[in-house]
Amino acid sequence: MRFRLVNGRLMFEKNFLEGSQKISQLTEIPQPPLNPSFQFNSELQHYLSGKQLLLDDLPYLLDEIQAHYDNGFITIRKGIDYEGKKPFCVRCGKKDLQWFGTYPCARCGDTCIYCRKCLMMGRISECTPLIGWNGPVPDTTLPPKVMAWQGTLSEGQKEASDRVSYAILHNKEWLIWAVCGAGKTEVLFAGIEAGLAANKRLCIATPRTDVVLELTPRLKAAFPDIEIASLYGGSEDRHKFVPLTIATTHQLLRFYRAFDAIILDEVDAFPYTVDESLQHAAIQARKPESAMVYLTATPNAKWQKECFSGKRAFTTIPARFHRRPLPVPEFEWCGNWQKQLQKNKLPPNVHKWIKKRLDNGKQALVFFPHIPLMENALPILRQLAPNIEAVHAEDPERKAKVQKMRSKEIPLLLTTTILERGVTFPNIDVAVLGSEDDIFIESALVQIAGRAGRSKDHPDGVVTFFHYGKTEAMLKARRQIVLMNREGVKRGLIDV
């Protein structure tokens, strides 16, 4: 695509006319004033409000896009811009040269630089414009009763819920640091209700698709008369304009200054923590005056330091709703367990731990740092019980095995860190074999420990870290759990 400036207007050029340029070559992009007498397309309004989309995303003729721009209803921004001579992607924020490639572009008749980082959202290049909406936003009508949920909150949840409501209504940033199993979703309901009643547009974003799929029915049950969009790869809701959106953080790349409040769940989870483009997307998706609420059970060391030094506003929920303390991990040295696995043996204390659970009919999760080690252990353990299973991220039967564990068809499930979060089994013990491995960082170990003792009927679970040498991550994880238990007792949220 090429462009020309004519009488202070940007003109889309289908042909490679002399004097036309790639959009990245323009020094400025004029924005025509809004023409209130122009009859804009309401479907286009719904497509573009709060978005930054490619022309390929829009099922409209170029002439209609041009007319809406000429009358001030559409914004045009560069897809690739430059800082000096270095390109950066306006959509995902990437600046590292390794993320940029070149290709012979049929649209502008030239060699084009494009961004490889966000290619899965549609190719963005030097001649690609980002199209947005500058007119009035679509009207949304709220029902007389916004929320149908009538559950009750624990004291810890209620305090956090009040903070969420305050942050959303006053455009503040706030961290809710809630232990695993504290009931974070219910903490959001009052804030969402208050935000919707104040005509705010809200988004709950999370790094993982399965969390979006889990949250959507829960939010629809709590707010049955509110239209909710559920956005993930392949979702059919991507062009809906709704007051409440639930999305993966990847989907936020399509939004621009859309939301009055973003609730970012599992802010510590992969890939959000390691992908700056997703963090960039969350910032871009917020309106300039907006709220950001972060939810996590395991803030990183930097955030913990900011909390305790007064630099970050936060509220903790240090206890679960059943008012029993979190299981504190036990450390057990098991020697060179990898060497023993090579000899088709398990360390005696690990073998004893597992056999005890099998004999007592107590289900358990056993975490391994790497798939090959887990697969070596599986046939050894199947000598004790043939229906023991193993699961990992690439396992095509992953969901089926988790369901079998829930229905108690599997007595023991071996797993990688794929099950460190997002799954709940009512009555299990948990072990980590090789907890000294680098993959078991502090947050992973806290999350793993958080799989045990979640049910009010079975609040006491055993968590054991089998190791070949204690690590700082192990010590920090246990320290964090102990501190939360102490705070829960101090605030009267745990029965002693």
Q: Which pLDDT tens digit goes with each residue over 308-331? A: 999 999 999 999 989 999 999 999
Q: What is the mean pLDDT of residues 414-435?
A: 92
Q: What is the mean pLDDT of residues 261-270?
A: 86
> Rounded to two decimals, what is the model's pTM?
0.89
Q: ∠ at Cα 180 (176, 182), nearest 5°? A: 65
| Helix residue spans in 171-300 (DSSP H) | 184-197, 209-222, 276-285
Q: In whole angstroms, what is the distance from residue 174 CA to residue 312 CA?
A: 8
Q: Are strands 363-367 and 428-433 parallel, antiparallel or unpaired?
A: parallel
The per-residue DSSP string of 437-466 comes to: STT--HHHHHHHHTTSS-SSSS----EEEE
CATH fold of 330-490 reads Rossmann fold (3.40.50)
Instruction: State pLDDT tens for residues 361-407.
Output: 999 999 999 999 999 999 999 999 999 999 998 899 988 999 999 99
- Please identify, in words, the CATH class of the domain defined by 155-317: alpha beta
| Helix residue spans in 10-61 (DSSP H) | 42-48
Instruction: State pLDDT tens for residues 192-219.
Output: 999 999 999 999 999 888 889 889 999 9
The residue with tokens 């963005």 is 124
Q: Which helix (H) or strand (E) holds 472?
A: helix 472-490
**Reduced to 3 states, what is the DSSP secondary structure of residue 330?**
strand
- Of 211, 317, 330, which is closest to residue 272 (Cα–Cα)? 211
Same fold, 155-317 and 330-490: yes
Long-range contacts of 485-488 (CB under 8 A, 24+ apart): 485/318, 485/319, 485/325, 485/326, 485/328, 487/316, 487/318, 488/156, 488/318, 488/319, 488/325
| Helix residue spans in 253-346 (DSSP H) | 276-285, 301-308, 337-342
Q: In whole angstroms, what is the distance from residue 412 CA to residue 358 CA?
A: 8
Hey, where are the domains in the chain? 2-133, 155-317, 330-490
